[in-house]
Chains A and B, each alone.
Chain A
Amino acid sequence: MGVTCVSQIPVAEGKSVQQTVEMLTRKLELLGAEKQGTFCVDCETYHTATTTMGNPAQPGKLMYVMHSSEYPLSCFALFENGPCLITDTNFDVLMMKLKGFFQNAKANKIESRGTRYQFCDFLVKIGTVTMGPSARGISVEVEYCPCVVANDCWNLMMEFMQSFMGSHTPGIPSVFGSKHDSVYSPADTMIQYMELLNKIRKQQQVSSTGMR
């Protein structure tokens, strides 16, 4: 897995989510990127049932269970500001057995679905973030595959992102700060997605919704 940056692009003024996505993909295709299939990232929320651990004062923790089509046989379980566990898909079966202790907030399930583009050694995934039936925003994931040390190639990635995202180019992701020189792992990408999807969930609904 190469170094990845996940960010959000705001919906263009007066346009719908789908039209903004089309504008972006057209810019990418002008650059010379090739379409290469689709992707999907989804996130489910579990919260601890009350009075576990025998301590009623402790607030319930939120656990996120995510899946990504790039790693179809894996499941990512993480806590905000906590560890991220990479497991195989049987983890979902385990969560079903843990129904008495962790409740699935089904209404909070959020996912991002879209197309993958490849440009030279870059992999760009532009996805529409949906929660239930409504589209809530646009996620952009840019991966530079050959490099595995996060802080090495940030400038390079920023230059690439500026060429098609323009002024919406994000700043350096917070997970890069704690990486120093260690090798980048898929868990870091999922942490970025979790932060982004949480942010989108808390935002106001987009004015022109319902279009997918």
Chain B
Amino acid sequence: MEAPPVTVMPVTGGTINMMEYLLQGSVLDQSLESLLHRLRGLCDNMEPEAFVDHEMMFLLKGQQASPFVLKARRSIDKAGIPWHLRYLGQPEMGDKNRHALVRNCVDIATSDNLTEFLLEMGFRMDHEFVAKGHIFRKGIMKVVVCKIFRILIPGNTDNIEPLSLSYLVELSMVAPAGQDTVSDEMRSFAEQLKPLVHLEKIDPKRLT
């Protein structure tokens, strides 16, 4: 019943920009077990978390040529966890030497009525999918091994079918802007996963 410790107005949104560093790859279903086994050894000493998430992509079309994209993600198997809203900016076209894909990133936790609110703001849902897999951690690096499922009936997450016969592997890290040494850490970790999986920087513009 006491006053919260902050008695002046809370600082509204820091101007610290967070950047996401990303490396992606894939493995066929048959090789999944050996990859999980190696990750269990390399990553931090804790049981890998299994997750089932439902992700929706929202677009806001405006006067600009490119629409504003937001990703809303919620957990299907765990109850009581807030929804996750994510904004990813354009990839930084800096050095060709930079080993990972670098994008500006804003992560926000929200309450359950996120979809309703985004629709009210003017966003429209572009597509949705279900991701099922495991998440590993090593320091601040995150490795996600998941299978993407297509949703057959919009809004119904029980009726799903896998998109492909492989698992998507993503190695990512969120760090404040200006710390480029982190991409070297990511590259050395990715080296340790060869030849099971080749993680590399995939430029989204080159995909169609």
Contacts and interface: CB of A to CB of B under 8 A. Distances in A.
Contact of A101 (B8, B60, B85, B108): B60
Contact of B68 (A53, A86, A101): A101
A101 B122 CA distance: 10
Contacts, number: 117
B13 A89 contact: yes
A182 interface: no
Contacts of A187: 111
Interface in A87-135: 87-98, 100-102, 111, 116, 118, 123
24 contacts: A37-B3, A40-B7, A40-B8, A52-B60, A52-B62, A52-B63, A61-B120, A61-B121, A67-B9, A69-B4, A70-B4, A79-B117, A83-B116, A85-B117, A87-B85, A87-B109, A90-B107, A91-B13, A92-B12, A94-B108, A98-B68, A101-B62, A102-B121, A145-B1
Given A48-B122, A85-B117, A67 B61 contact: no
Contacts of A73: 10
A36 interface: yes
Contact of A88 (B109, B121, B122): B109
B60 A85 contact: no
Given A85-B110, A85-B113, A90-B108, A67 B120 contact: no
A67 B3 contact: no
B87 A94 contact: yes
A76 to B, nearest CB: 10
Nearest to B113: A83
Contact of A69 (B9, B14, B62, B89): B9
B17 to A, nearest CB: 8
B9 to A, nearest CB: 5
Interface string B128-148: 000000000000000000000
Interface in B4-40: 4-14
Contacts of B87: 94, 97
Interface string A26-62: 0000000000111110100000110111100000010
A90 B13 contact: yes
A101 B121 CA distance: 10
B1 A77 contact: no
A90 to B, nearest CB: 5
B115 to A, nearest CB: 9
B10 A69 contact: yes
Contacts of A42: 9
B56 interface: no
Nearest to B89: A97
Contact of B12 (A52, A54, A67): A67
Given A53-B61, A82-B117, A87-B110, 5 more contacts: A52-B122, A69-B6, A79-B117, A91-B108, A187-B111
A63 interface: yes
Interface centre among B12, B85, B114, B121 (most CB of A within 10 A): B121
Contacts of A63: 121
B7 A69 contact: yes
Contacts of A95: 13
Nearest to B10: A72
Nearest to A58: B122
Interface string B73-91: 0000000000001010100
A71 B6 CA distance: 9
Given A69-B4, A88-B109, A100-B62, A93 B122 contact: no
